[in-house]
Structures are given as C-alpha cells and as structure tokens.
Amino acid sequence: MGASQTSFQEAADIDIPLNSNMPNAQQKPMANSKPQAAKMSRTKKIIWILMAVVILAILVIAGYFIKKLIETHYYYCTRSAKFIPLAKSCDGHADCYDGEDEAYCTSEFKANGTFPVRLISAASVLQVFNGKTWRTVCNDDWTAQHTETTCKQLGYTKSPTSKSVDVSTLQYSLKTGPFAAVWSGSGSTPVHQATTDRSVCRTGSVVSLMCSDCGQVNSVDRIVGGVDAHIEDYPWQVSLHNGGHRCGGSLVSARWIVTAAHCFTNNKEVSRWTVMSGETFMSAFGTSSVDKIIIHDQYNTDTNDYDLAMMRLSSPISVGDKRKPVCLPPKDLPLPYKAPVVVTGWGLLRENGKTATRLQMANIEIISRNTCSGIYGSSLSQRMICAGILAGGVDSCQGDSGGPLVYLSSSSQWNLVGVVSWGDGCARQNRPGVYSNVDDMLNWIYTVIEKNS
C-alpha cells in the first residue's frame, strides 16, 4: 500500500506545474513575442530599403540612357532651356540664346607665312628662314641654351639635345649652303632672330637637334591582316570618342594630337569629343577632355585633300611607358619605295566586319607615287602618300581614320609620316591605303602649336 501510495503521489507531482503558485500560469507563453516582432519589422525595413535602392538604380540607369539617347539627336540650350536638333549646332547659324550652340565648335586655321624654324633630312639638321631663303645653322658659338630655346619654338620642352654634324657628310643639296650662325650670347632669343648669314661655317659643322625622347619605345618588334599589339609598343596611339570610338589619332606632345579632318565633318561640337590614351583594349573609361579641335583651312570634303586636324587636350597627359609622343619627322625625311612602315588602330578586322576591341598593328610598305598615281589618278594630291601591300590582305580600315602611319628612323625613333585618310575598300589587291602626307604639312602643324599653346 505504501508503495502504491508513493507512486500515486509521484504521478500527482508530475502533473503540478512548475509555477503552480502563479494564477493562470498555464496560459502564459514560455517565450516573449516582442523580439520576434522586432525581428520581423527589421526584415521588412531591409526589404523596403533594398527595393528602394534597386528602383533608384533602375531610374538612374534609365535616366543615363535616356540622356544619351537625347544627346545623340539633340543639343540642349542651357540659357534658353530648349532642345534643338543636333544638326543645327555648329552649323554657322545661332539657334540658341546668345549663340551658345556655335560657341564651342571645331575651327579652321590658316598658317599665314612660313614657320621660321625646321629640322631637315634624316640627320635632323637645323634650318632657319630669313624671309626669303632657308639657311642651315652652323655649330659656331652654339650653346645648350640655344638648343633649349629652339626646341621650345618647335613645341618641345623635355630632354632637348644637340650635336654637330660635319658639312662634308650632308646630302649634296645642303653641303653648299646657304648657312647662318648665331650671335654670341643670344641663347634666349628665338633662333631665327639671332642669326647672321654666312657663306661657310667656321667650325666646318652644323647643328643637329633631337628635341625630345619622342618616338622611343622599349620594344621595336586587327587592322586588316594585322596582329594584336600592345600600347607600350605604340604609346602615341589614341582613340577619339564621340559616343564610342570614332577615329584614331597620334600624340605629338603631352597636349596635342594629330588626326584626320574628315573625322569631324558631321561632329563639330568640341565638348562631345574625348580621348582615350594608354590603353591596349578599347575602353570608355579614363578618357581626357578636349578644349580645341582645329581643322586645316584648305581641307576639301570632296577630295580629302589637306585631310589633317589637331586636337588640344584640356590638360596635358602624364607621359610614361603607355603614353608617349611620336616624333614629327624632319622635313624631307627620305622614304624610299618599299620603305617599311607600321599602321596601328582599332579598325575593322575585315571589310564590313567588326571593329577590333584590342589594338592592332600591321607591317606594310611605302608605295611609289608613280604606282599610286597609276591606280588613283588625279585623286592623289601632293598632300597624300600611299602605303600597303599591293597583293592585298593588309591595310587600315574605316575605324582607323586619323590614326598613325609611322617609320623607324636610323636614330631608332618612330616618326609620324602619315595619317590614315581614305582608300578603296579594305586590303583589296592593287588598292593601297592613302594617307595624309605629314611632311607636306609640317609648317601648318608647327604654326598651330605655336599660336594655340
């Protein structure tokens, strides 16, 4: 009995709630619901915040593309708060209040007269113009200050050097003069204003200048038929952007780019252009703004004669392994028939094909003027040169317009001898590419830099 009584009591004890002394205890939950509610509230807030961020991002992206779409077709007049068709901006007629649509457009430049300083021949011999004739400058009384002053006149400020060249080693047309020599103590005077005429050089030598470390790369080793290239091998190559890649160009200083005039025929608003430099792969990032685009005043849209233009960056680029100017050639740099040259760019990989995303290069050769004239007839002017492979297969294409044609001189410097201008198709047999002849327009280039720097 005792055992059964004990068992009964144990069973009864089990049925007694732990908090039996609290009334209605069995109705109170074991856990508090407030933390759960707070947790649910925080989750809802996070979801709403994420939704708001996503919606905002969608609106921003949509707004960006709508803005780009509008900019593609319209110009916005900020002062009069209205849109005009893009074709009406930079058309020579003011459509906005105060003519703001005509204020920042490409401009033409006429080089009145002769730029009075030049380098000539493969030896880069210095000559000055006295108003009538070109005279070769003797090494007599020449100083390092003269070198610095003269190179500054030519638009170069970095690493100028000079050396003497014996008159006896010059090409025949330069051996007999006429000559000129600087005055003693005239180092800071512009060189063409600091010389006197001479029949012979007292030292028997003349001045040769190397005004910068332009055109030098560590390696000298798909345009159509081309191969992949690295920007470090052609660091002067740039891409001109206006809603994407439009043309190529060449750095000739930290702030100036040489390109083709036809790139701007229907794109005259300066603010729409940017410049990508220092990149092997095509990119829209890291571009530089432009504050001047100057077209050769004799450029002919029908014949592409004088197809040359210059762009001035809003601020100089930092020169380094991936960004470095190419040399402007000395006047009359010899370019014999079949001279090896290189063309680079991000053009079409084949006729009517896709644009390259990686920089391309092609080894081609100079085509003689007689051969090229026989192909293109009167379309070939003195301001044009031909290059390519007559058998076909290698050439520059539309996307490379304005890009560089370069030649490696005996001093191991790359010289800009041509600018991609026009052609008949791409890489067709007996249809070489036609390039603007830089040698023939050096006077214009130097004058633009001097007058607009």
The domain tally of the chain equals 3
pLDDT value of position 224 = 62
Q: What is the DSSP string of 16-40?
A: S-TTTTSTTGGGS-SS-SHHHHHHH
Q: Contact, 112 vs 137, CB < 8 A?
A: no
Q: 145: pLDDT confidence band, cut at 50, 70 and 90?
A: very high
- Asked if 198 contacts 179 with a C-beta cutoff of 8 angstroms, the reply is yes
- Using one digit for the tens of pLDDT, what is the confidence trace for 207-222? 999 998 899 887 554 4
**Same domain assignment for residues 260 and 172:** no
**What percentage of the chain exceeds 90 in pLDDT?**
62
State mean pLDDT over 270-292.
Answer: 92
Last residue of a domain, one of 160, 179, 210: 210
Residue 45 covered by a domain: no
Among 89, 124, 250, 401, the active-site one is 401
Of 192, 245, 262, 296, catalytic: 262
Tokens of 255: 């702030």
Instruction: Let me know if 192 is a catalytic residue.
Output: no
Least confident of 19-28, 295-304, 369-378: 19-28
Q: What is the CATH number of the domain that holds 336?
A: 2.40.10.10
For residue 84, what are the contacts with CB-CB under 8 A and spacing of at least 6? 74, 75, 77, 95, 96, 101
User: Does pLDDT of 30 surpass 60?
Assistant: no
Q: Which two tokens stand for residue 125?
A: 């011999």
- Answer whether residue 112 is part of any domain: no
Q: Which domain holds residue 157?
A: 117-210
Comparison of pLDDT for 100 and 29, the residue scoring more: 100
Q: Establish whether the linkage from the previous residue to 160 is cis, with ω within 30° of 0.
A: no
Same domain, residue pair 200 and 236:
no
User: Does the residue 215 lie in any domain?
Assistant: no
- Active-site residue, selected from the candidate residues 140, 233, 305, 307: 307
In this structure, what CATH number is given to the domain that contains residue 149?
3.10.250.10
User: Does residue 93 have an active-site annotation?
Assistant: no
Does residue 304 share a domain with residue 237?
yes
- pLDDT bucket at 71, cuts 50 / 70 / 90: low
| Among the listed residues 115, 117, 110, the one whose alpha carbon sits nearest the alpha carbon of residue 146 | 117
Whether 18 is covered by a domain: the verdict is no
**Rounded mean pLDDT, 237-245:** 94
Residues 243 and 203 in one domain: no
The set of residues, in sequence order, having a beta carbon less than 8 Å from that of 424 and lying 6+ positions away, is: 376, 431
**Is the distance from CB of 141 to CB of 181 less than 8 angstroms?**
yes
pTM: 0.81
- Is 436 catalytic? The answer is no
- Residue 430 Cα distances to 287, 339, 350, 395, angstroms: 38, 17, 16, 11
- Quick check: 219 and 166 in contact, CB under 8 A? no
User: Residues 340, 244: one domain?
Assistant: yes
Same domain for 178 and 241?
A: no
